[in-house]
Structure 1
Amino acid sequence: MTRLSTASRGLVTVLAALLCLTAAGATARADTEPRAPEDFVALRTMDPTILQEMRYFTPHNFVGERIDGYRQPICVLTRPAAEALHRAQTELLREGYTLKVYDCYRPQRAVDHFVRWAEDLDDQAMKSEFYPDVDKTRLFEDGYIAEKSGHSRGSTMDLTIVRLPARPTRPYHPGEPLVPCYAPEDERFPDNSVDMGTGFDCFDPLAHTLDPRVQGVQRAHRMLLKNTLERLGFVNLAEEWWHYTFKPEPYPDTHFDFPVSSKSLAGPR
């Protein structure tokens, strides 16, 4: 049997200690990760029929990559907001539609990611689809990007309506040719939602909910979403047809930073 020298045994001991310290550090970081208050829930536990297409978990967004803090493609909301959304879904199902959410609770680290991207004027990979007519130097001034978001308070969501039966939406392939988000429905990136006049996250005045240039069936679809949600306590952001906040908010002054993950939520894992 080969015997280790005293020096070799010492090295093994040091390496083992370093491994233990590394593992302990990783455990400590996991244990100190921010957690959601008990009244945050996964939307699917309140209503599994609402479709979820969580765009910031994917590269199909204005940044072009998965956004920091999105560990799972799930919608997380405060319980009152999720319950109200369930009531809206019940109404829309009777009319042959379903809701589809693009984003819900958004951690502060995700907002910080947006800010870093906006400050990098050389990164304009997704401009042709999401902000074709906006100079990137104006994203803060024009209000498209901000250092704080209502989404981080937990009662704001981005959503649309889909006619049933819902068709699948094809996956986005990074590097594919991009089409302006305000192009006609049959030209822009395909979405299984009804035609709202623009795609989601379109940085353009045409995305304003009541833009007078949006008429006919497109305006009717926007008003169906708006009227349904407003009857149930939601408030629309006038500049974005997809953006709604349930009022009163349980946390009107708190911006959370726990990751979007089932592990961040209370209850069984």
Structure 2
Amino acid sequence: MSRRRIGEVLLLCAATLFASPALSAELPPGFAYLRDIGPTIRQDIRYAGSANFLGRPAKGYDAAECILTTEAAKALSAVQATVTKQGLTLVVFDCYRPAGAVADFVGWAKAGGPEDPQWHPRVRRDELVAKGYIGAQSSHTRGSTVDLALASVARPSRLENSCGLREADTLDFGSGFDCFDEVSETRHADIPAEAAANRHLLVQAMRGHGFRNYSKEWWHFTLEKEPFAKTRFDFPISPR
């Protein structure tokens, strides 16, 4: 082998030896991709696509990934371990939400419009903020809030005619995710017994690992001991 060829081989070996490994997208300290901590949790991140009340991806959702504070991700993985013993799985719809996406939601609502039978059947679009269905600020921007449901591993069902999220393989909760209506209140009285039992099951499972429920949305939970209780973040949701 010629000296030139030997040199080329040595250079190639050195480049291979010292090349940096491929890394996940850089996140702020204290944050993690859920799939790195709870890989068996199903993800159905609706604001990364068009199957949501906006009808398009929300600002800042550059990937269909659940990002949470590391503490929240670990706690959610513990919830998954609990419900798995019952033949169930968590299905997450939204996790960390950039502040720019919150502003996007508010701007969409203020643009106005009539009721929508799928998302807000009894409230006009320009009243959603005033009535508290869309917040000018959101706990999601702090990174320890998650929107989710339970699904049966063995017998998935589709709530295609439900207010809110459709075509979700979840248990019956009496309404779908993002149904902006009083029926979505966690303790709403006028829902079937099975749906009420499923809501109770979800609340208890989440509470057992440190999450508290938002009473107006059965799907909305925040880690009680959240690490960034007073900080709003606005980094984009990037591919892992």
Q: Is this a same-fold pair by TM over 0.5?
A: yes
Task: Give SS of 1:235's match.
Answer: strand
For CA contacts below 8 A with separation 6 or more, give which structure has more relative contact order. 1
Equivalence map 1:115-134=2 (5 Å): 115-122=106-113, 127-134=116-123
The equivalent residue for 1:45 is 36
Contact preservation (8 Å) 2:156, 2:169: yes
Equivalence map 1:107-186=2 (5 Å): 107-122=98-113, 127-165=116-154, 167=156, 181=163
Contact preservation (8 Å) 2:145, 2:223: yes
Contact preservation (8 Å) 2:35, 2:41: yes
Q: Does 1:100 align with 2:94?
A: no
Q: Please identify, of 246-255 and 98-107, the stretch whose mean Cα deviation from structure 2 is larger.
A: 246-255
Listed one character per residue, the Cα deviations across residues 24-64 of structure 1 (whole Å, up to 9, x for unaligned) are: xxxxxxxxxxx642110000000110000000011111111
Q: What displacement does 1:165 show?
A: 2.9
The equivalent residue for 2:231 is 254
Q: TM-score, normalised by structure 2?
A: 0.84
Q: Does 1:203 align with 2:180?
A: yes
Which amino acid in structure 1 is aligned with residue 119 of structure 2?
A: F
State the superposition RMSD in angstroms: 2.1
Structure 1 residues not aligned, in runs of 5+ = 1-34, 171-177, 183-187, 264-269
What CA distance in whole angstroms lies between the structure 2 residues aligned with 1:158 and 1:192?
15
- C-alpha change, 1:203 and 1:223, in structure 2 (3 Å) is same
What CA distance in whole angstroms lies between the structure 2 residues aligned with 1:46 and 1:224?
23
- C-alpha change, 1:227 and 1:207, in structure 2 (3 Å) is same
Q: What displacement does 1:244 show?
A: 0.2
Structure 2 residues not aligned, in runs of 5+ = 1-25
Contact preservation (8 Å) 1:198, 1:206: yes
What CA distance in whole angstroms lies between the structure 1 residues aligned with 2:202 and 2:162?
23
What CA distance in whole angstroms lies between the structure 2 residues aligned with 1:190 and 1:160?
13
Contact preservation (8 Å) 2:157, 2:171: no
Structure with the greater alpha carbon radius of gyration: 1
Q: What displacement does 1:109 show?
A: 0.8
Equivalence map 1:233-244=2 (5 Å): 233-244=210-221
What CA distance in whole angstroms lies between the structure 1 residues aligned with 2:100 and 2:117?
26
Contact preservation (8 Å) 2:174, 2:191: yes
Task: Give SS of 2:218's match.
Answer: coil
The equivalent residue for 1:230 is 207
- C-alpha change, 1:191 and 1:219, in structure 2 (3 Å) is same
Contact preservation (8 Å) 1:235, 1:244: yes
What CA distance in whole angstroms lies between the structure 2 residues aligned with 1:62 and 1:108?
18
